[in-house]
Structure 1
Amino acid sequence: MNNINSGWRSGILEKIQGRLMKVYLLARRFRKHIKDLKNIPRTPRCGLSKQETIINKH
């Protein structure tokens, strides 16, 4: 019984870790977009609309 239980638990932990990695990678990608957005005011208005469409597609 104990072996089955520990195997089941480690499987759940692996799933949670995988999910956390996905969230982490998404957060990193999103942070890059935020940096891009902060740099936008120096660029012309048309650059902003292009950036917005890129973000909306994701």
Structure 2
Amino acid sequence: RLTAILRDLPIHWRFFAKTEIFRRMKGGSGPEGVQAAFDAACERFPELPRPRPVREAAE
């Protein structure tokens, strides 16, 4: 999930977003923990762009 978030952000936001995600992980793990940390960063910094939603592959 981290890779997908960072890939879809403008280059100048990637380092900032990664740093904020790691800072906010606080015991969370996996894709859900990364997403929750990114959502928290977006709430704190509303100017942080949100990448398009993740779509699951068709089965």
Q: TM-score range by the shorter chain?
A: 0.3 to 0.5
- Structure with more relative contact order (C-alpha pairs < 8 Å, separation 6 or more): 2
User: Which protein shows a greater Rg?
Assistant: 1
**TM-score w.r.t. length of structure 1:** 0.32
